[in-house]
Structures are given as structure tokens and as C-alpha cells.
Amino acid sequence: MKVGLESLGVAVPPAYIELALLAEARGVAPGKYVEGLGVTRMAVPPLDEDTVTLAVRAGRMALEAAGCSPDDVGMLVVGTETAVDHSKPVASFVQGLLGISTRCRVFETKHACYGGTAALLLAADWVRAGSAKGKRALVICSDIARYGLNTPGEPTQGAGAVALLVSDQPKLLALDADTGVYAKDVMDFWRPLYSKDAVVDGHYSVTCYLDALEGAYRAYQESAGDADGKPYSDRFAALVYHVPYGKMSRKAHRHLRTLDGDAEPDESFDRLVGASLTLPRQVGNLYTGSMYLALASLLTTSTEPLANRRIGLFSYGSGSCAELYSGVVAPEAQARVKALNLEALLERRRALTVAEYEETMRAREGIDERPADESPGEGVRYLGTRDHRRLYAR
């Protein structure tokens, strides 16, 4: 049985800041953020946006793209590290707002940026095992990445959600059974219970990411067996890496090709990785959704025909757990993802001034306790709280 992605959906906040502007405000050469980190624009969520609203919009797009009704979903999982409650899962809010039936397994997964991948691969096994009985799993990766103003991590923030509909009709990507996993207890990035902002040992986190890539790649090779020739990664028509910022994908690819024995590890970068960065470069880090936005970017912007070709995906979550897995692109996948007009979705956003961005960042600190503002507006929105309950407008 083939199992994999039937459709996907993407949601991003309606506003962004140009990183060149932020660099100027921080007294840093714009080249450091734009070329040095490989990010041009960073998503900034307004006060009525949270992990739930992003997840709902992405989930709705994935269902509509597949022509599925909410009743077709038998498992709903939200992978997130920026949940809105210590007990009630984001997935339950999403279930209510999307109108998903009561006959559905609903829960949340967490392992930093790997949480969505954990959910996806479990969902694929659920379908493979025959437990789905014709239903789909809706896996949504949704996060707001936040380090705070004037921190080294500031230019690597972002926000967004990517929803993945998983079934035995993989019209986008049929997942291979082979995967390579690597987990190690490290303190590279975390967010204490008392803090809205992540804490990070930035340069060490890069080392941890690359160590995990190496471990997962070796494990994948043991699982998938020998390639016909060297370099091993030439078995892939494209490689999609977790993208906390664009430059990290370049570092990852350089490391992987060096492991392959490639003396010119950067030469294959544009061919194998370039197209996956077009959308992430304009949004920043989505945490759980980052690698899946890179996958959407590859499918929508690559000029290479990818039909029936194998691609590799590397998911990294700080703390840490990582997995390298692969899949075969379905014949109509590129046309289907292009039809979502994701580039236009990014173009419709509003540019913020640095002052507006800073004001929004400060105001977001109190949004979990904000009294609900129920004045009319459009679309799914977070309104605030009443009696300690979060309220949403559909």
C-alpha cells in the first residue's frame, strides 16, 4: 500500500518585517541578515493570531485542496512547541473550529521543531497498519517562533503553519518505509515554562543540528542500503532540510555532501536545495512547519520535473531528535501545489515598520490574559479570554 501526503495547506500571518530594515535599526550590516543568515522577510503575527488560528487556516486549505470534508478525518494531530494551554491541546481548538467530527483521535505532539514530523510518521504508520479504515490523518505543524527584541536570535524568528493530509492516496508524496533517526539529550534550545521567549545557545545549536544530521543520515543509509554510486545523496532529486534560517540549509548540505566524500560540496546546492528556500526565506522560522514550508517551496517553485523521483527530507528538533526520511513525488504534485498560489499568499502580506513590529512584539507578551474583544471582524481570529477561557471567532 502507498501511504503519504494527499494534500497540504499553508498559513502565514498577514504581516512581515524586512530584515534589511531590522538590521539597520539594530546597527548591523543588512548583509549579515540577508546574505549571512539567508532571510529577507520575517513573519510577524498580529494580536488576533496564535498557533490555533494559523493551524485552522492551514488545515482548511489542506482539506479543500483534497476535496475532503472534516468528516473524512479520523486522526487530528497538531505538532507544536508554542501551544496555548498546558493541558488542552491546540488540536482540540482546531477540531472545534474546523468542525471535525467526534469520531476522531485528537491530540498534540511536542518535540521542538521535530514535533510535526513525529506526528506525520506516526500517522503514516496508522494508515499502513489499516487502522485508518478509509479515513485521513490531518497533521498540522503550527508555531510562533519568538526569541525577543535585541537578541541574537531576533532575526531568526517567524511564524506559520503547514497542514499535511495523510492517506493511502498520496497525490503529493508517497513516503518510503526507510528512515534514519537520531536522538540525543542536549541543551541547545529550550523555552522554560515561565517564558514566552525561547532561550538558545545559538552557535552550539548549529553544531547539534549538524551532528544530528550526520547521525540520521548514517542511520538512513543503513536502513535504505547501498546507492548505485557515489555521492550517496545523488539518489535524491532534491533535499529538503529543516530551515531555521536559509543559511542553515546551506551548512547542512555542505556537511552532508562532505560526508558523501564530495570535494566540492557547495556545487550541488542550487540543483538539490535552492528551490526549497524560496518561500522560507520570506517567512523565517516556523519551527515545526519549517521543513514542510520548504517542501511546499520545492514543489511550487522548482523548474525541474520531479514526478516519480525520490526526495530526501531532514527534520531536526532541538533537545534533540532528528529524522532523515524520503519519499517519491507523485506525478501531479507540482501542479497541485502550484494551484495553491502560495507565492501570491506571501505577496498579499503587509510590510511593517520597525516601530510597528516592536509594538506588536511587546503587546503579544500579554495576549494570553487579554480580555476578549468580540467586535466584528473577518476570518478565524483569537479574541482574548473570558473566565480563563480562550475565545475564537470563526
Which residues are marked as active site?
81, 113, 242
Q: Which residues bind ligand HMG (CB under 6 A)?
A: 29, 31-32, 35-37, 81, 112-113, 152-153, 155-156, 188-189, 200, 202-203, 205-206, 209, 242, 244-245, 247-248, 285, 287, 316-318
Query: Least CB distance from residue 122 to ligand HMG, whole Å?
Result: 18
CB-nearer residue toward ligand HMG: 138 or 200? 200
Query: Least CB distance from residue 248 to ligand HMG, whole Å?
Result: 5
Query: Least CB distance from residue 29 to ligand HMG, whole Å?
Result: 4
> Hey, is 387 helix, strand or coil?
coil
CB-nearer residue toward ligand HMG: 89 or 153? 153
**Residues 294/296/96/15 CA torsion (nearest 10 deg):** 70
CB–CB of 159/13 below 8 Å? yes
Question: Between 90-98 and 51-66, two packed helices, what is the crossing angle to 10 degrees?
Answer: 50
CB-nearer residue toward ligand HMG: 112 or 275? 112
Burial zone of 134 (CB within 10 Å; 0-12 exposed, 13-18 middle, 19+ buried): exposed
CB–CB of 117/182 below 8 Å? no
SS3 sequence, 281-345?
Answer: HHCCCCHHHHHHHHHHHHHHHCCCCCCCCEEEEEEEECCCEEEEEEEEECCCHHHHHHCCCHHHH
CB-nearer residue toward ligand HMG: 74 or 153? 153
- Comparing CA positions, the residue from 140, 69, 76, 74 lying closest to residue 106 is 76
Query: Least CB distance from residue 289 to ligand HMG, whole Å?
Result: 11
